[in-house]
Chains A and B, each alone.
Chain A
Amino acid sequence: MSQRQVLQVFEQYQRDRTKFIQTVAELAGRPQHIETLQNAGVMSLLRPLLLDIVPTIQHTAALALGRLANYNEDLAEAIVKGDILPQLVYSLAEQNRFYKKSAAFVLRAVSRHSPSLAQSVVDCGALDALVICLEEFDAEVKESAAWAIGYIAAHNGELSQAVVDAGAVPLLVMCIQEPEVSLKSIAASALSDISKHSPELAQTVVDSGAIAHLSQMTLNPNAKLKRQVFSALSQIAKHSVDLAEMVVEAEIFPSVLACLKDQDSYVQKNIAILIREIAKHTPELSQLIVNAGGVAAVVDYIGETRGNIRLPGVMMLGYVAAHAENLAMAVIVSKGASQLAIVLCEEEEDHMQAAAAWSLGQIGRHTPEHAKAIAQTNVLPKLLQMYLNPASSEDLQVKCKKALKNILQKCVHLEALEPLLYDAPPNILKHVIGQFSKVLPNDSKARRLFMTSGGLKKVQEIKAEPGSVLSEYINIINNCYPEEVIKYYSPGYSETLLEKVENFNVVTTDPSLAYSHSESAGNSLSHSQTICSTLVV
């Protein structure tokens, strides 16, 4: 045998290994093959290949493992149980960049499934290795390391704290400043994941100077980057007033409002979330957004989008209106109320309707002027209908009831209140009648209108328990009208009149007189009606 033949054996072996691992990696990319691969025991075969002498085989094996772990939680757990992670972490520090990329991919795939798996990744010391990878020159390595770090931090506060303790935040902030857009966006998403858990974590992100760099990227044309940037900013701003003010001081308003018109709907949603998180803290911050024309922009964006995308915008209007009376008025002036009414009618899902109802309640609860503006959008019957609909969720019912109560307690716009008299349940009717009882004693025109439109008749038909609040209100209303009118409108009046006729003693003996008298008594109903109508007129 010549030397060449001997070497050929090795070459053959290496070629076959490479082919095997490449095929497995390719197959692992398709979900339909994964079960077969798993049954064939791919895990135990991949492990030795991770230690192969050929770097290509090593990183392809890592790639295959990553794809398997990405598929479902069981496979990820199998990797953890197979003691593969320490090996990966160990070699992460000393292998080439392709291997680092694939290893980081495996760590990401494992830690993405559940907090316990992420914790086991952290326990292997992966964070330190990943943080070292963030210092690598190669952008792709940094990218996959940042990605893995983001996935670990996304689960809960403790894991995020571990990430922060490993010193990842300053390096992630460095990554944001790199020229590669994908690296930027992944680093931004990792920062968002870190800062979403608690104010302290958000504060560490802010302390490392992330906001200045994030705010510079708000006008970047890349949609994916913008999504992550806005999500990071909103996660920072959501915790406290101080953090929200820090975000605002980066002078993002009013330029970011332009992003509400972005082509990408998730950018729109994230910027709306950012505005909402800032506005919800204090009246001053809300005022700032209102003065920057933010409310008009949000209303416009609500009008253009559908479904979940516009949910944060709807809530933002509610938050702004909840702070103060003039802010609520600003929302009304910016046509927010009518837009919310449209949302309430258009949307089918309960949570959207609930949000819209809540926001409307927040706007209408301040003064009669506000309540009138809400009532004029003809939203009260719709709210009542949602409240009474047994198909609507409990949350929606509660929100509708609260909104109705808030608005009704301030509403003196009687035209809008009158339809509610006919189909409101007693607990709502109480407020409606209460408003009437407040207005009618002081307004003669309204009294007349109330009587002619049949409202008074309806009020007489209500059966209120004596001594209750409702009966008190009814009494107040009844006291505004002469007694005959009340009698006339109370149910069963015709019967009492007929009874009167029956029991009437004819006094006169003169037949002609008696005849005329009985005739007049028989027609007393119509007679009294004419009296009443003359009264009314």
Chain B
Amino acid sequence: MAAKSRLLKNTIEFLSEIIYDERNEAEKKRIAELDALEKAEAEKKMRRRTEAAIIIQKHWRGYVGRKYYKECLLKYFRQISLKHYNSMATKIQKVWRGNWIRQHVYNYYKRQEYFQALAEKNEIMLIRLQEFRDERRRVQYEMARTIQRRHQNELVRKYHHLVSTKAIPGIYNSPYSPADSRDLFLKSAKFRVSPLSKKRKQMSFNKKCEKMLDSIKNLPNVPKQQGPFQDPKKVHFQRYKPPRQTLRMETDFYHLEKARKAMMDKEWTHRLHDDLFLPVKNRASQYKANMQNMSVYIPLGQITYRENDPSFNVDKKDFQLVLSPIPFFDEFQEKMEELKLEKCAKLTENVMSS
């Protein structure tokens, strides 16, 4: 029994174990099935949601896209139309500008007209210039001719003594040949009275001379000299020249002082500037006397010029030095004075001893 019970007990134990395992298994499977079911449910739900979201997004995106596309299209259209308008405007401007500039700036006909007018003006200008030049030439020619005529007249006057007279034929008037034009030419001489002499005549001083001349002219039995030998003007001048004073008389000894005074008086009356001119470089030093003026006075009684020692004039230094520029002397003047004094002292000693 025991065995039996033990067996039973073992069997029960064994069975309970099996049942427990089965139950366990079933529980496990149940949980798994439940999970799977839940999962499937969830998946299904998820899918439905996703689909819904897709539908929503699809519509939304479509809406936004269409909106954006419209905008882009509009923009593009605007660009295109702007370009078109711009090109049209350019065309209009081009045509108008071209027209304007051809009318106002590069007008071919006006340009041609201008150049034609310019050419005409140039022609006129050249003609005027030619006229001007001809006129100038004519005037000059006239002047030259007048001068030439004057010269000729002078020549004729000079050679008038060669003219033939009734009594004596001139040298150009040979009896063997036909009449020479040169003789006629000589006959055409016109003598003029110098305007200078006319003036002089009015002066009382010359009246005396004239009287004297008249008296000479009226001398009887004196053959008249032929031909004017010198230019009558010169002769007149020579004849009526006022007496010439000596040089001493001509320039007053006190001329400088007088002139200065006169000038100062004039300056006083005709003064233009109140500030008198002052030279920039005022000399501080005193004026030094000239080298040539410096000589020692030796009384005439002691020494004569004839007895002079020739060595006085012979200097060891070059004579050129005397003629060298002034500043040189200015520097060495004092030295030279000393030298000179020494020399003079020697000279006097020599003379005294001799």
Contact = CB atoms under 8 A, between A and B. Distances in A.
Nearest to B267: A94
Nearest to A45: B323
Interface in A442-462: none
Nearest to A38: B323
Contact of A96 (B119, B263, B279): B263
B327 A82 contact: yes
Contacts of A300: 126, 129
Interface in A57-104: 78, 81-83, 86, 89-90, 93-94, 96
Contact of B325 (A15, A78, A96): A78
B324 A11 contact: no
B248 interface: yes
Contact of A44 (B115, B129, B324): B324
Interface in B97-146: 111, 114-115, 118-119, 121-126, 128-130, 132-133, 136-137, 140
A47 B247 contact: no
Interface string A327-338: 001100110000
A44 B260 CA distance: 26
A124 B248 CA distance: 35
A260 interface: yes
A247 interface: no
A128 B326 contact: no
Interface in A239-291: 254, 257-258, 260-263, 290-291
Contact of B281 (A45, A48, A125, A297): A125
Contact of B125 (A11, A293, A330, A333): A293
A200 interface: no
Contacts of A297: 125-126, 129
B246 A261 contact: no
B325 A123 contact: no
By secondary structure, the B interface counts as: helix
Given A14-B247, A40-B323, A125-B279, A48 B263 contact: no
B264 to A, nearest CB: 9
Interface residues of A, number: 53
Contacts of A18: 247
Interface residues of B, number: 45
A53 B130 CA distance: 60
B352 interface: no
Interface in B160-204: none
B323 A334 contact: no
Contacts of B140: 263
Contact of A86 (B111, B124, B279, B327): B279
B263 A296 contact: no
A149 interface: no
A330 B116 CA distance: 10
A83 B327 contact: yes
A293 B277 contact: no
A44 B323 contact: yes
Given A18-B247, A44-B323, A48-B290, A132 B121 contact: no
Contacts of A55: 251, 255-256, 259
Given A290-B118, A300-B129, A329-B115, A124 B259 contact: no
B192 to A, nearest CB: 27
Nearest to B248: A11
Contact of B247 (A15, A44, A123, A290): A15
Contacts of B247: 11, 14-15, 18
B272 interface: yes
Interface string B252-267: 0001100110010000
Given A54-B255, A257-B125, A300-B129, A124 B260 contact: no
A94 B128 CA distance: 54
B122 A124 contact: no
A334 B245 CA distance: 71
A45 B325 CA distance: 9
Nearest to A18: B247
Contacts of B327: 81-83
A43 interface: yes
A295 B122 contact: yes
Given A81-B327, A261-B129, A261-B133, A293 B279 contact: no
A132 B273 contact: yes
A520 interface: no
A123 B259 contact: no
A390 interface: no
B1 interface: no
A326 B111 contact: yes
A371 to B, nearest CB: 17
Nearest to B282: A86
Contacts of B121: 291, 293, 296
B280 interface: yes
A124 B280 contact: yes
A56 interface: yes
Contacts of A96: 259, 263
Nearest to A56: B251
A18 to B, nearest CB: 7
Contact of A94 (B248, B260, B280): B260
A14 B247 CA distance: 8
Nearest to B293: A48
B300 to A, nearest CB: 13
B322 interface: yes
Contacts of A41: 320, 322-324
Contacts of A334: 118-119, 122
Q: Which of A56, A263, A293, A326 has the most CB of B within 10 A?
A: A293
Interface of A: 7, 10-11, 14-15, 18, 40-41, 43-45, 47-48, 53-56, 78, 81-83, 86, 89-90, 93-94, 96, 123-125, 128-129, 132, 135, 254, 257-258, 260-263, 290-291, 293, 295-297, 300, 326, 329-330, 333-334
6 interchain residue pairs of minimum CB distance = A41-B323, A296-B122, A293-B125, A125-B280, A261-B133, A11-B248
Given A258-B132, A263-B137, A291-B118, 11 more contacts: A10-B248, A81-B327, A96-B259, A125-B280, A125-B281, A132-B273, A257-B129, A263-B136, A293-B121, A333-B119, A334-B118
27 contacts: A7-B248, A14-B247, A14-B248, A41-B323, A44-B325, A55-B259, A78-B325, A82-B327, A83-B326, A86-B281, A123-B280, A123-B281, A124-B279, A124-B281, A125-B279, A125-B280, A129-B279, A132-B273, A257-B125, A261-B133, A263-B140, A291-B118, A293-B121, A296-B125, A333-B119, A333-B122, A334-B122
